[in-house]
Structure formats: structure tokens, C-alpha cells
Amino acid sequence: MGERIGFISTRFAGTDGVSLESAKWAEVLWQDHHISYWYAGQLDRDAGVSMCIPEAYFNHPENQYINDMVWGRTTRHPQVTRRIHSLTEYLKGTIYDFVKQFDITLLIIQNALTIPMHIPLGLAITEFLAETPMPAIAHHHDFYWERSRFQVNSVPDFLDMAFPPRDLNLQHVVINQAAREELALRKGLSSLLIPNILDFDNPPGPPDEFSADIRDAIGLAPEDKLILQPTRVVPRKGIEHSLTLIKRLDDPRCKLVISHGSGDEGDDYPKQIKELARYEGVDVRFFGNNIGDRRRIDSKGRKIYILQDLYLHADLVLYPSIYEGFGNAFLEAIYYRVPIIVNRYPVWVRDIEPRGFKVPMMNGFVNQQIVEEARRLLEDQEYRHQMIEHNYELARRYYGYPVLRYGLQTLINNIKNRM
């Protein structure tokens, strides 16, 4: 008999890393006869196995008020403290309801005890774990100490308590080695490293009829090169490097396509990128409004594609990120067999580069060698094919579903051994 697993986060919807990775975890757990249920403030999971609590969403007005009052300030008003405690108590009650309704035997908390975008939810989960013998796994994607916007705050007491908490029944999972060391140093907590993964044993099929017109939708001519940056438009994604590379390619066929919007980090950087692209004379297409978590025709009659559709029609992927918790786009490019150029961000250098992938790499700037590599990948089909196939086989070995299955089986066996 498998476990009845309750996934908890502020959101399980769309194409963000937490939503995507949690779905993969659930798929692998299902293959081992464990059933998954879902609790969040925004959900696109099946209603029959889900509990949607709007107040648990990080963009709920009450949580937005709290965030406005605690970040960038060093003291907080007593009224803010009261409202944090009040929302915590309410959310904790809904977690009790969730566990009872679906007879949950194990909780998997996805990033809600890691990055404090929803302080009351983190506190509610922490208090629930302290009040019950429920075994739990916390999957940590990005800690608050990795983000500059959380450094000045008036909630150090809550951060110490719940992000993440120390609990005898809580096991911790991180996605890179640096996070593992920082968690041990800052919190005295051991953790298991499970990298992000993809199902490399089941490669994607060719482009289908739905996505056949995606190049037309972007506005590309038949001879144009679709150079994809599959990231949000935020400063740590290094989009200015992509603009520099395309300018130096000096090929009017090369069009930069960006797959996502700016998300929750404002529009200052997108404005700067648009200005820079105009100044540099680079043709950049922002396609985020046409990419969703599922294919459909929206209320305006627009065709909404999924990220996979872009990958399958891309000629080259650029990944010039300055910082990534892991680097899903790297794995996705390999999975969809598109050559990729990366910037050597810290997690890449330490966790991924030693595996031996054949990838052109920039060291924080675009030099002539990178320009020549990009040109060769666009024009030399044999060179391109050899690189793609080498990387696919390496990724299958190090970042496939068997790696995740082994990690999850270890975690669940740990729970059984404690009982």
C-alpha cells in the first residue's frame, strides 16, 4: 500500500519551476503506487484531488499587504503582527482540513518553507508539523538568503522559525550543492540533493499540427533563425548578453524570442531591455503573452501555445543567466534536442559542468569565440547533431527519472525506518 501524499505550496499552476517539478515528483510517486493530493492558493490540478484555498496564494490581497509592510523595513507595526498571526491560524485550520479530507499520510511542501513570499503559509505549515506526528518532506528550490529583496526585513523571528523550520519529522531536499551547504551552515540541517529532472527515457515527438504556425505567430519569415531565451524577463536572466551576441552575429535572419513575461518582479528591467534592443538594433520578440500552461484559444481569440512548442521550432537556445537555483532551461534544451549556449552561473560551474556536457560557455561576457560557436551551431548540421546527441545521453544518465525515483524511495524508506 502506497502513501497518500499531500503536496502543499502557494501555487500549483502554470509553468513555474515549482509547479513543473512537483508534477514530475507526483508522476514518479504514482509509478511507485503513491497517490498525490494538492493544496494551494492557485491550482490547475484535478478538482477531485485538490483543495484550493485562495488565501494561500502569494498574490492574495492580505498577503500582499503583509509583504508590503515587512520587506525593506526593519520594524513592523503590532497590527501587522496580528494580521500575520490571524492568517496563519486560518491557514493552519485549512491544512488540518486538507489532511483529514484526503486521509494524508505524508506531506511534501514545495518551496513554501523556503522562500518567504507567503509568511503566514510557512508559519501555518510549521505549526501544523509541530502539533502533529505527520512525516513531511520539504523540497527547497530557492532560499530567502539567495535573494537580495529579502535581505532587509522586519520578520527575522519568523524567518528563523519557519524558513525552513527544524522538525524531527521533516526531511529536507535541495536542488544544488551550495544550497545543501548553506542550509547546514545557517540552520544546522542535513539534506538530500535531488537535482531537477526530465523523462529522458521518453523523448518528445516531432512538432504537431497545433504548433505548425508558431513561427508565423511570432512574425518570422521562413529563412529566419528562431533564437530562444526560455526565461522570464528579470535581471538575473542576463538578457542583455543575448542582445550582445545577436548584434555581433550581424545576421538579419537572427531573431531573439523571449518565452516569458516579467512575473512578479516589476517592469523596470523589461523596459530597459526594450530600450537596449532598439539602441543595438536587435530584433527581439516578447512572446510571453502567447505561452501558457496548456494549449487553447483565449477569450481574445489568440492561440496560446506551450513552452514545448517553442523549443521544437527553435534553432538555438541562449541561457545567459547570472544566477539559477538549478537551470531547468538547460535540461529542456537538451531534452528537445536544441543546441544551447550558457553563461557559467555558480550552480552550473559546481554541479553541472563537471558532468562533461559539450556546451559553448561564456564567462559573464560575450567574446568572439562564443559568436563563432553560435554561428557554427546555426550553420553546421553535423557539428550540431554530434553535440545534441552527446548531451542527451549524459542528461539521461544524470538527470533522468531514475535519479528522482531513487531519491524519493530513500526519503520514504527513512520515514518507514523511523516508525
* pLDDT single digits (tens) 165-224: 999 999 999 999 999 999 999 999 999 999 999 999 999 999 999 999 999 999 999 999
User: Which pLDDT score, from 0 to 100, does residue 292 have?
Assistant: 86
Residue 357 clears pLDDT 90, i.e. is over it: yes
Confidence of residue 378 (pLDDT cuts 50, 70, 90): very high
Tell which phi-psi region holds residue 203, choosing left (phi > 0), alpha (psi between -120 and 50) or beta: beta
- Residue 43's CB: how many other CB atoms inside 10 A? 21
Question: In order of start, what are the domains of the chain with their CATH numbers?
Answer: 4-197+401-418 (3.40.50.2000), 210-398 (3.40.50.2000)
Output the CA torsion sign for 9, 13, 17, 22.
Answer: positive
Per-residue model confidence as pLDDT tens digits over 185-196? 999 999 999 999
**What is the amino acid identity at position 187?**
K
Integer Cα distance of 326 and 150 in angstroms: 20
Residue 262 clears pLDDT 90, i.e. is over it: no
Q: Which three cell numbers, joined as nine digits, stand for 282?
A: 536587435
- Residue 11's CB: how many other CB atoms inside 10 A? 22
**Burial class, 20, CB count within 10 angstroms (exposed 0-12 / middle 13-18 / buried 19+):** middle
**Long-range CB contacts (< 8 A, 24+ apart) of 17-21?**
17/141, 17/196, 17/325, 17/326, 17/328, 18/110, 18/111, 18/141, 19/44, 19/293, 20/328, 21/110, 21/139, 21/141, 21/196, 21/328
Tell which phi-psi region holds residue 362, choosing left (phi > 0), alpha (psi between -120 and 50) or beta: beta
Strands, sheet with 4-8, edge to edge from the N-terminal-most edge strand? 50-52, 35-40, 4-8, 106-110, 136-139, 170-174, 192-193
Per-residue model confidence as pLDDT tens digits over 13-43? 877 889 989 999 999 999 999 999 999 999 9
SS3 174: strand
DSSP at 213:
G
Integer Cα distance of 248 and 256 in angstroms: 13
Model-level pTM?
Answer: 0.91
Confidence of residue 264 (pLDDT cuts 50, 70, 90): low
Residue 265 clears pLDDT 80, i.e. is over it: no
